[in-house]
Amino acid sequence: MVLLRSLAFAGVYLFAGSNAESLEAMDAIAADLVGAGGRQPVKQNQSDAVCLLQHQKQVRKTKLYETEHETSSIMGVMPDVTGIGASAAAVYKTTNITFRDEAFKKKMYKEICPKAASYMVECYRREVAGARLQCEEYMKFEHQAQFDQYIKDEFFWISKALLKDFRNGNSVDPYLDMNEHEFLAKKKNAKKVDAACQAPFPFPKPDNNKICYRSVGWATYLRLGYWGKDNCVCGDQICEREKGAALAATQEPWKSWWESSCTVTPCPF
């Protein structure tokens, strides 16, 4: 409780995922701030300094990430994680997904597939004939670096909760290469998967497709998305696809504190 009061006083760090994930994320940050164990209370007269220190650390990490990977993620450009330029050849992939049941299949199509499509150029799917709980996917990536990023760290762009649910009885086959001719032929009779987010906010929040970020680093922070007030939610670093979605995803007491002074950017797409 002391830990939560300390973070509330600072008024900057809130991760709007499930309660368990949010508390875990805040505990992780507290541990980083106060040392091993993360259970020492932060005194109220220290909280402003702690808040500033953690914000500066995150800004430095984001800038370092962008510099190392030669990207301008703040402008919504997909990071080129291997240093390959945008002129590199497009990469085409296909895979089969097997679902544990019809309920998760619907969840996959609604919550996960639109996130996935946001991290590639094009994505299509088609039901496998005679296999009700299988689908085949056809994907186009800008280059090999974009595909490598897509599969990095067990799909770093989805929340821990979604990843855990997927692991429970679902499976994805190894990715196989396609050429452009094969991709064009396959996509003709397939359903296009619409991306959850588009430029200039191309990166969806890992647990909420109604919220999109400018920066991939902040979108995927702790697999929940960075959730600071003035330098993120109310500061034009996110947009919301549905009016009120950002504050609806914000926990109390932050939601009440922010409502009177927070203007969230509506998504332009």
**pLDDT tens sequence across 202-254:** 999 999 999 999 999 999 999 999 999 999 999 999 999 999 999 999 999 99
Q: How far is CA 209 from the centre of its chain?
A: 9
32-39: average pLDDT? 32
* Predicted local confidence at residue 88, as pLDDT: 79
% the chain with pLDDT above 90: 66
Q: What is the mean pLDDT of the chain?
A: 78
Please give the CATH number for the structural domain made up of 91-192. Answer: 3.30.70.100
pLDDT of 148 over the 90 cut: yes
* Predicted local confidence at residue 248, as pLDDT: 97
- Tens of pLDDT along 38-77? 333 333 333 333 334 444 454 454 444 444 433 333 333 3
pLDDT of 197 over the 50 cut: yes
Delimiting residues of CATH 3.30.70.100 domain(s) in the chain:
91-192
pLDDT of 17 over the 90 cut: no
Q: What is the dihedral of CA 175, 178, 184, 188, to 10 degrees?
A: -40
pLDDT of 35 over the 70 cut: no
* Predicted local confidence at residue 122, as pLDDT: 98
* Predicted local confidence at residue 145, as pLDDT: 96
* pTM > 0.85: yes or no: no
Specify the higher pLDDT residue, 11 or 264.
Answer: 264
- Tens of pLDDT along 159-173? 999 999 999 999 999
pLDDT of 92 over the 90 cut: yes
Cβ(232)–Cβ(16) under 8 Å? no
Strand partners, 176: 94
* Predicted local confidence at residue 65, as pLDDT: 40
* Predicted local confidence at residue 36, as pLDDT: 32
pLDDT of 100 over the 50 cut: yes
